[in-house]
Amino acid sequence: MFDLGIRSITQAGVLFLAFLFMVVVFYFVLSGPVDAIFDGFDDVDDPISGDEIDLFLPNIRTAMNIAFALMLATPITGFIMWVFSREPFYERYRRY
């Protein structure tokens, strides 16, 4: 699943750091606008939907934070799976 043709731990580490850097930059770029959108929803003064917004908006913010955390955990999990995916090969010879 995570086999990208990488055969050395150095190449895998560099690829892991590149993915991790991209995810951290992606978080810092998108977390501000997403919070601004949620703040815009929170500032709505509609008496009909105000209660629902106050009820569900903290859950939606938590879900977005969990999504960002899972986005951060994906390269870490991929690297760990790649490191442990190689199984040792034991040759067995038939003796006559």
Average of per-residue pLDDT across 33-46: 86
The answer to the question of residue 68 being in a domain is: yes
> Is residue 40 domain-resident?
yes
- Number of structural domains found in the chain: 1
Domain membership flag for residue 92: no
Q: How many CB atoms lie within 10 A of CB 78?
A: 17
Cα separation, 60 vs 45, whole angstroms: 19
For 46-91, what is each residue's pLDDT tens digit? 888 888 888 888 999 999 989 988 988 888 888 888 778 766 666 6
Domain that includes residue 73, residue range? 9-83
Q: Does a structural domain hold residue 93?
A: no
Note the residue count of the chain: 96
